[in-house]
Amino acid sequence: MPARIQLGELAVEVEFKRIKNIHLSVYPPDGRVRIAAPSRMSLDTIRVFAITKLGWIKQQQKKLREQERETPREYLDRESHYVWGKRFLLQVEEGDAAPTVALKHSRILLRVRPGSEEAKRQAVLEGWYREQIRKAVPLLIGKWEPVIGVKVCQSFVQRMKTRWGSCNPASRSIRLNTDLAKKPRECLEYIVVHEMVHLLEPTHNTRFVALMEQFMPDWRIRRDRLNQLPVRHEDWGY
């Protein structure tokens, strides 16, 4: 069970792991704070670290609480959905054939078998979004590998609740959120570059910022645009 430290009204969960560096995370929707710390680090040391980060924690919590969220989707006719930052209206058609998704003018045409419930419609559409990312990412990686000077051995796409992407420097792999297919393409490119730069610098320190400035001078504009867009409704279960 994770430990817990209390800083006034702020509760911080602490999980000890076999890692070298301490990691601080603030999670949506309400700004839950969690620290992953090396196994031998004392709670007093972790407390001092958390105190030095209080300003940043409060700033992140404020952003999360103000973040606009989409209304829950029911996957019905004329419901709004987004592809690469553009709005489309869903058109559901039933037929005795394998489910498919296609873009047609300003519509997303979702073909499903008769009687398909909401969960099935959602799964089909999310699978299609995942495939859009899988098609786009290899081209972006190929574009940026010679620029950044890294080699990405594997890329994965999955639904994520709290991150747009992640990377594993040891395996030279990056992982991307399926929902990036709903955002403008420049946002996906920013996240791909962000994670690739983490293969050079795992933390968000001054070196990481300098590298982002070097490789993608407009990265802050792309980041801010992504963060200003509504994010998916989630049932967080707590």
Q: How confident is the model at residue 234 (pLDDT cuts 50, 70, 90)?
A: very low
**What are the backbone angles phi and psi of residue 44, rounded to the nearest 5°?**
-65, -40
234 lies in a domain? no
Instruction: Mean pLDDT check: name the lowest of 60-64, 97-101, 139-143, 165-169.
Output: 60-64
Average pLDDT in the chain: 89
Same domain for 105 and 46, yes or no, is no
Residue 27, pLDDT score = 80
Same domain for 122 and 202, yes or no, is yes
**In 3D, which of 227, 210, 225 has the Cα closest to residue 62?**
227
Overall average pLDDT of the 191-203 stretch = 94
Residue 161 has pLDDT above 70, yes or no: yes
96 lies in a domain? yes
Contact 137, 157 (CB under 8 A): yes
Contact 136, 153 (CB under 8 A): no
Residue 238, pLDDT score = 26
Residue 188 has pLDDT above 60, yes or no: yes
Same domain for 184 and 217, yes or no, is yes
Q: How confident is the model at residue 152 (pLDDT cuts 50, 70, 90)?
A: very high
Number of structural domains found in the chain: 2
Q: How confident is the model at residue 68 (pLDDT cuts 50, 70, 90)?
A: low
> Higher-confidence residue: 237 or 198?
198
Residue 232 has pLDDT above 60, yes or no: no
233 lies in a domain? no
74 lies in a domain? no
Residue 130 has pLDDT above 80, yes or no: yes
Can you give the residue range of the structural domain that contains 93? Answer: 80-228
Q: Is the dihedral of CA 82, 84, 88, 94 positive or negative?
A: negative
Q: How many residues does the chain have?
A: 238
Instruction: Mean pLDDT check: name the lowest of 98-102, 141-145, 147-151, 226-230.
Output: 226-230
Residue 236 has pLDDT above 70, yes or no: no
CA separation for the pair 77, 169 (Å, rounded): 43
Residue 212, pLDDT score = 96
Residue 230, pLDDT score = 62
Each residue's pLDDT tens digit, 69-125? 667 788 999 999 999 999 999 999 999 999 999 999 999 999 999 999 999 999 999
Two tokens at 204?
């968000």
Same domain for 48 and 108, yes or no, is no
Each residue's pLDDT tens digit, 3-34? 888 988 899 999 998 888 898 888 876 788 99
Residue 54, pLDDT score = 92
Given 12, 33, 66, the domain boundary residue is 66
71 lies in a domain? no
Terminal-residue alpha carbon distance, the chain: 17
Same domain for 19 and 85, yes or no, is no
Same domain for 193 and 92, yes or no, is yes
Residue 67 has pLDDT above 80, yes or no: no
Contact 155, 176 (CB under 8 A): yes
